Amino acid sequence: MTDVISPARRLRRGRPEWLRGPALVGAIAITVWLLVALTVPLWSPYDPLAEVAPRLQGPSWHHLMGTDQLGRDVFTRMLWGSRTSLPVAFVVILSSVVIGTIVGAIAGYRGGWIDAVLMRFVDITMAFPPILLAMAITASLGPGVRNALIAMVLVWWPIYARLLRAQVIAVKQREYVESAEAIGVKRFAILRRYVLPMAYTPVLVNATMDFGQVVLLTASLSFIGLGARPPSPEWGAMITEGATQFYSWWIATAPGLAILVVVLAFNYVGDALRDSFDVKGVL
Amino acid sequence: MRLNTRNGITRQVMAAGLAGVLLLGACSSSGSSGSSGGSTDKALLIARSMDINSLDPSRSYCDTCQIFMTSVYETLIGLDKDNTTLVPRLASKWESNPAQTEFTFTLDPKAKFADGSAVTSADVKFSWERLHGLQASSSYLVSTIKSIDTPDAQTVKVTLSQANSAFLAQVNASYLGIMNSKVAIANGATIDPATDKAEPWFLANSAGSGQFTLASYQSGAELRLKRNDSYWGKKANFPEVVMKQTADAVTQRQQLEAGSVDIAMQISNDAAKGMNGKDVVVSQVPSYNFVYLAISPGAKGGEKLTPKVREAIRLGLDYKGLIDATVGGAGQAQASPIPNGFAGTAGLAAPAQDLAKAKSLLAEEGVTSLTLDATFPSLNVYGVDFTTAMQKVQTDLKAIGITLELNPVEISVWADKIGKDGIPVTMLYFAPDHTDSSQYVQYFGLLEASQWQTWARTDVSQSETDTLSKAFAEQDATKRAEIYNQLAKAMISDSVIIPVVNPNLFLAARSDIKGLYYSACCNLNISDLSRG
């Protein structure tokens, strides 16, 4: 007997269980924004830095989100803004996860004074509100996207270090890890083969959820003048310019919407991943 | 006694300013009182983006400082509402020798400081000698003073190092306000920057004879003045004046419309649209304020800024586009660092973009591409957002192969950088200190140790120095205007200071505030304001 499966059913079968409802919407939004960030130079409606129309024009067919105080197309600048915010968020999360993993794994697995020293350093870093610490670091390094990125990595890695340490401590007490130690498997191999794979899920879920927060922090730093330099079409910087032209509402609305969509999208996906992997108690 | 300053400010600009005064007066007399109106015992609340560098009368130098100084420290001579006529203030009369090298002031015997002590010639001598000695930004105003004699308590005899027919106008500058020397000295004031320790004291106290005294100052928050109840003349109409730090024009508009403040001082053209109503009155008048681009060939990284490259930058700018982008067209182009309407500006051609000539000049210098640091203070002044203006400048200069690396910073960071290394391309603003054109030559010209000769690290122009001396010596107003015209052309040729916009001023107030006008010496003269 031939099993006839409709294309729709086949698609549903191939889709992970968690990718439904809001998570699906979020995943689509993320995909769209990633595609925009990768391809916008190929099909951009206008040059994001060029004066293409009279200043402060409201939304129209020619300029979907109007023009700003210099006559630049706001929609185009919003699209190009994704080429700053998304790569910055990706690098911040990746770097933070790598550093946090190394520190958290060493602290959790070795324990003792190494754990104490590393975790006190983590405690000190986490004692400061992230936005204030990021502002202080960026201000001391000097404004700019690169320095904002460095500041955000310095603020974010302790979160992953602490999370992974807790997971490693829990996993290393399991019998199969003790067995591996008993038969003389090297510590690094145990950590890599037996501990980290079992401890890593909450980190990945947290990283997904943090992605949106980093986008928001990047925009916040630019908003207060510590991130992207003018005339870069960065979302936070665009909102700053819009704030000085408050009665031309479209200037700040466009990048604000972009931030809203990206942050919501990553939160939806992150929530679904958390529920799916059942790490609510950990996060 | 009234004397004309003979400074040559054109009648058209004056008439427009006066029209603004009358318009506001008319509107205010017919308007209903707003939520903040009614009682004359209510404090006057002003929304303003404050740029205070110091409240020490010998060190302060900023637009907000002008208002503060005028209210707290009186000058010997005042300026009438017509922005032309000099009127008695602490001095009841004055005279000069024919050569304009000696000036004698007679102090009003009734004049006294807020603590009740009399204003004497010794106070004048100490105030001006301290201003000269501390070598602060406003010290150029007394640079021609050679000696000050005090034959008696009421007489001040000033001898100048050269003839200076602009001296009376300079005496009118708010920075030449008189402090109580005994109080100041008791709190660490000296005329030597190495020993003077009074600046912190002046942040919390004042020692003037004006209608107000300093009540408190919180940097970044508010400046609070209280009425000097023992004032020797007509007492102030308000028991208290509070300037609230309000950075942007939109917030200022919202506060004014909500009745949270009585006056908003930096409303932009875009923010002013649709603002007139029964509770709020807005008028637009020409001003002498301007925003300029400054090119520093001696700054670190500015080595390629030769005279031809600087001229190319001047010719590369789209002035009309800059006025549109920064103030929505509510302003004028300005040819030279001497603003439109001041003596010497008649007949100067408005600046215009000439890309072909700009490129040709760069080619002559062998410059095909040039990248320059453009650190500038992140400010919004006279309705001009510097970040917007600099982006427009960046776009314009890109067309001739010059790339500006924009770096908006806090004003303190900017001041530190320009003092240390200089900045190849930057932006700043200027409001007149008094009514004579000499101030612009003394501040922007390439004279020995002038402010911009120092910051731009350029060679000194002996020609400009000599020409300014001629202007000071010339007593005929027409001839002096011709000399200032030569100086204006010389400064255009220097291309160190390139004015980008001379914005109109928006006077915005609650409808019950009377007497608001633009003062050419003092920005806002609070003593003329009342509520009714």
Fold of B290-503: Dipeptide-binding Protein; domain 3 (3.10.105)
The residue in chain B having the minimum alpha-carbon distance to the alpha carbon of residue A71 is B325
- pLDDT tens profile B126-140: 999 999 999 999 999
- pLDDT tens profile A113-142: 999 999 999 999 899 888 889 999 988 888
Q: What share of chain B is helix, strand, coil (3-state, %, to 5)?
A: 35, 25, 45
d(CA B271, CA B282): 11
Domains B3-244+505-531 and B290-503 share a fold: no
Residue B371 neighbours by CB under 8 Å, 6+ apart: B402, B403, B404, B405
Nearest to A168 by CA among A208, A115, A217: A115
Long-range contact list for B469-473, CB < 8 A, 24+ apart?
A: B469/B162, B469/B163, B471/B165, B471/B166, B471/B437, B471/B438, B471/B441, B472/B100, B472/B144, B472/B162, B472/B163, B472/B164, B472/B165, B472/B166, B472/B438, B473/B100, B473/B162, B473/B163, B473/B165
Looking only at the bridges linking them, the beta strands covering B331-332 and B497-503 are antiparallel
Long-range contact list for A139-144, CB < 8 A, 24+ apart?
A: A139/A226, A143/A225, A143/A226, A143/A227, A143/A229, A143/B407, A143/B408, A143/B409, A144/A227, A144/A228, A144/A229
**Which residues partner with B408 through β-bridges?**
B376
- pLDDT tens profile B395-439: 999 999 999 999 999 888 999 999 999 999 999 999 999 999 999
Domain locations along chain A: 64-277
Closest CB to B380 among A143, A244, A248: A244
Q: What is the mean pLDDT of chain A?
A: 89
Instruction: List Cα–Cα distances, A130 to A161, A204, B100, in angstroms.
Output: 15, 20, 65
- Cross-chain Cβ contact A69/B408 below 8 Å: no
Residue A283 has pLDDT above 60, yes or no: no
DSSP state of B286: -
B273 touches chain A (CB under 8 A): yes
Confidence band of B273 (pLDDT split at 50, 70, 90) = confident
Q: With beta carbons less than 8 A apart as the criterion, state whether B426 and B418 touch.
A: yes
Domain locations along chain B: 3-244+505-531, 290-503
Q: What is the mean pLDDT of residues B207-217?
A: 97
- Cross-chain Cβ contact A69/B270 below 8 Å: yes
Residue A260 has pLDDT above 80, yes or no: yes
DSSP state of A225: T
Looking only at the bridges linking them, the beta strands covering B102-107 and B91-96 are antiparallel
The residue in chain A having the minimum alpha-carbon distance to the alpha carbon of residue B252 is A244
d(CA B50, CA B52): 6
- pLDDT tens profile A41-80: 999 999 999 999 999 999 999 999 999 999 999 999 999 9
d(CA B223, CA B64): 10
In the three-class reduction of DSSP (H, G, I as helix; E, B as strand; rest coil), residue B429 is classed as: strand
Structure tokens at A144: 């700019």
For residue B7, which phi and psi values (nearest 5 degrees)?
-90, -10
Q: With beta carbons less than 8 A apart as the criterion, state whether A235 and A258 touch.
A: yes
d(CA B489, CA B95): 33
Q: With beta carbons less than 8 A apart as the criterion, state whether B144 and B162 touch.
A: yes
- Cross-chain Cβ contact B388/A248 below 8 Å: no
What is the pTM for the complete model shown? 0.83
- pLDDT tens profile B495-511: 999 999 999 999 999 99
Per-residue pLDDT, A278: 64
d(CA B59, CA B135): 8
| Superfamily covering domain A64-277 | MetI-like (1.10.3720.10)
- pLDDT tens profile B468-487: 999 999 989 999 999 999 99
- Cross-chain Cβ contact A55/B324 below 8 Å: yes
State the CATH class of domain B3-244+505-531. alpha beta
Closest CB to A230 among B274, B328, B391: B391
- Tokens 């101030």 appear where? B439
The residue in chain A having the minimum alpha-carbon distance to the alpha carbon of residue B325 is A70
- Tokens 């769209």 appear where? A32
Angle (nearest 5°) at CA B204 between B201 and B207: 70
Q: With beta carbons less than 8 A apart as the criterion, state whether B234 and B222 touch.
A: no
Q: What is the largest CA-CA distance in chain B?
A: 68
Structure tokens at B363: 């080619």
Q: Which residues of A touch B408 (CB under 8 A)?
A: 143, 225, 229-230
Percent above pLDDT 70 for chain A: 92
Closest CB to A244 among B385, B391, B392: B385
DSSP state of A49: T
Per-residue pLDDT, A280: 52
d(CA B386, CA B392): 10
- pLDDT tens profile A167-196: 999 998 888 888 888 888 888 888 888 888
